[in-house]
Amino acid sequence: MHFASQLARACARHESLLCVGLDPDPAKFPAGLRGDPSRIFDFCARIVDATKDLVCAFKPQIAYFAAHRAEDQLEQLMAYLRRNAPEVPVILDAKRGDIGNTAEQYAREAFERYQADAVTLSPYMGFDSIEPYLKYDGKGLILLCRTSNPGGSDLQFQPLANGERLFEEVARLAAGKWNRDGRLGLVVGATFPAELARVRELAPTLPLLIPGVGAQGGDAAATVQAGWRPDAPIIVSSSRAVLYAGSGEDFAQQARTVAQATRLELQAAQKALPARLS
């Protein structure tokens, strides 16, 4: 199924804009699992089971697995997601950015080895760093545009000769000539609501993956107002605030409580939108 269709169905079925990021850090695991990289799958599977009816997507971050030689556990987790939350699309957060044969191998990794529904990519080597991923029918490609970290401004906010910023050009390209079959999306941080609104203006229908709500301090209401439209999905990602909500045996239930609160906060923000936006 086309990623955009998967996403729309999950958003409607679960009445949710929330994506739970799976960034497993064994040093932060609850008692009984803490410090044990061999339990990464166990931890993530518990989080998935506790939140799968509350989310529109899951987003495993590949570095948290690779750093602990746990790529096999990531494969196991992806298979678990397909069995136990088949209606929820999975975005592999890899931020790959290379060209030619190397990009082809990264695409194979994301879509054949891990069976992801979408992948995050860095577009700063140009369209030929994105094109190999388009060979995989239906898969989503989500390009870094205006990221949530303060240092993103070092390059993304640089002015171009036409007076616009670099992130604006990325948004234009993704919404225009690069989006050959309607499978591109953009990463825009919740920590920059004004820039988020500008990206939505330039890319009025593209899915926006929005990190930064939760531990990074992004505001849910401002995020929804800036980015959500009835025909323009947003995927609001929260990782640490959900994953490490509890440190005891009930950590999964505590994660569910935070995920549910965030989901309801996003719902309330939707309902509060002016009629022209909703």
Give catalytic residue positions.
95
Count the helix, strand and coil residues of the chain and give each as a percent rounded to the nearest 5: 45, 15, 35
Token duo for residue 98: 């290379």
Q: Which helix (H) or strand (E) holds 81?
A: helix 71-84
Beta bridge partners of 57: 19
**C-alpha span between 15 and 55 (Å, rounded):** 8
276 vs 110, 123, 169, 228, 273, CA distance in Å? 38, 32, 26, 12, 8
d(CA 207, CA 91): 12
Q: 8 and 233 in contact (C-beta within 8 Å)?
A: yes
Question: Collapsing DSSP states into helix, strand and coil, what is residue 22?
Answer: strand
**How far is residue 116's CA from residue 93's CA, in Å, rounded to a whole number?**
10
Instruction: Give the containing element (helix H, strand E) for 186.
Output: strand 184-188
Tell me the C-alpha distance between 198 and 18, whole Å.
21
Q: 5: which residues sit within 8 A by CB, 6+ positions away?
A: none
238 sits in which H/E element: strand 234-238
Euclidean distance between CA atoms 264 and 241, whole angstroms: 15
